Amino acid sequence: MAYTIRTFGDPVLKAQAAKVTDIDGKIARLVDDMFDTLYTSDSGIGLAAPQIGVQKQIFVWDMDDEPMVIFNPEIVESSGEWVYDEGCLSIPGLYVEMLRPNEVLMRGVDIDGNTIEIEASELAGRLFQHEIDHLNGVLFIDHLSRLKRERVMKKYVKAARQRSEA
């Protein structure tokens, strides 16, 4: 069952998610629902549980038809720099050129309860950082300077208003 993706302004997006302590049937069904939600989105490659209103440290992603899930993820190493136009399903239509570390090492728990580590760079590395930010109540625009964030959000609100009037 696909959920509605929470959008900018929803307080759930600014809250810290709780660690997953037990991977049971209920969590497995939630993961399936998260994939359903991701696949019904327009252009998403990743989705964090808070984006559907669930305050758990879970995110799913699918790049190259390889669906994956991780629980309680954290970035344990990062290096380099990579600039890319970053967007978010929770702020639809907004893309901002952002600098983030290029290479990351992410550690977390897989669906079987095993600790895993995944090295990633470029788009996958950015995806991991972006989704982990969601689990910590951080939106990608929070990484912008106050002035740039205000300018970007002013344009976003104006565009959203025009879309709703059309």
Q: Which residues are catalytic?
A: 131
Which candidate, 86, 108, 88, 107, places its Cα nearest to that of 97? 86
At residue 114, the 3 state secondary structure works out as coil
Query: How many whole angstroms from its chain centre is CA 68?
Result: 13
What are the structure tokens assigned to 102, written together? Answer: 């290029």
* Residue 138 CB contacts under 8 Å (≥ 6 apart), including other chains: none
The SS3 assignment for 88 reads coil
Q: Which of 126, 106, 8 is nearest to 63 (CA)?
A: 126
